[in-house]
Amino acid sequence: MDNIVLQALRARRSIRKYKPEQISNEELKAVLEAGTWAPTGKGLQDPWIVAVQDEALRARISRMNAEILGKDVDPFYGAPTFVLVFGSDPEVWKNSVPDGSLVLGNMMLAAHAIGLGSCWINREREMFATPEGKALMKELGLPEGLIGIGALALGYPDGPAREPKPRKADYYRIIK
């Protein structure tokens, strides 16, 4: 069985090098809207999505993430757009992290479908648990009590995507 969605699932790769040009507003909105169509537990639409294109704020977020990583690098690979996803504390809403993860997955597939590159960036939970991270969430106008779930580096790929690794032979099982 094959169709364009299944083909996109097989073809999408994490991109770790971006052209400096900013993506268009139309492309950004398409990716963000795709995130809003992700399924969420009880249909609560718990996740919060924040796109960041401001250069100074991107530098600040990149520095914060690198500090958690413990390396002096740009964890966002030079992407011109960052997309941050937040959700309720799992003590408040147990599906917070799965819901936000589905949002990120939808946005990665949408980005690929329109010719953009993306890469899931980790460490947002630790980043936004710090005093600086909590202050930044307040600056972003987010409600209290949220956690960072994940982020995307988003932009035009600067070079071809890597070849996929072969799928392991026993990845799934069918029990009848």
CB burial of 105-122 (b: ≥16 within 10 Å; e: otherwise) equals: bbbbbbbbbeebbbbebe
pLDDT value at position 174?
A: 96
pLDDT value at position 26?
A: 98
Taking the C-alpha atoms of residue 19 and residue 41, their distance in angstroms, rounded to an integer, is 36
pLDDT value at position 151?
A: 98
Fold of 25-155: NADH Oxidase (3.40.109)
pLDDT band at 93 (very low <50, low <70, confident <90, very high): very high
pLDDT value at position 63?
A: 98
pLDDT band at 156 (very low <50, low <70, confident <90, very high): very high
Percent of the chain with pLDDT over 90: 100
pLDDT value at position 110?
A: 98
pLDDT digits (tens, 9 = 90+) for 3-51: 999 999 999 999 999 999 999 999 999 999 999 999 999 999 999 999 9
Q: Tokens in use for 32? A: 């963000």
Taking the C-alpha atoms of residue 65 and residue 72, their distance in angstroms, rounded to an integer, is 10
Q: Are 127 and 56 in contact (CB under 8 A)?
A: no
pLDDT digits (tens, 9 = 90+) for 115-150: 999 999 999 999 999 999 999 999 999 999 999 999
Q: Are 45 and 36 in contact (CB under 8 A)?
A: yes
In the chain, what are the domain boundaries? 25-155
Q: Are 11 and 64 in contact (CB under 8 A)?
A: no
Backbone angles phi, psi at 109, to 5 degrees: -65, -40
Q: Tokens in use for 65? A: 């993430």
Q: What is the mean pLDDT of the chain?
A: 97
pLDDT band at 61 (very low <50, low <70, confident <90, very high): very high
First to last CA, the chain: 20
pLDDT value at position 154?
A: 98
With a CB cutoff of 8 Å and minimum separation 6, the contacts of 32 are 49, 51, 83, 107
Residue 67 CB-density burial (10 A; 0-12 exposed, 13-18 middle, 19+ buried): middle
Q: Which residue has the tokens 């949002």?
A: 103
Q: What is the pTM of this model?
A: 0.96
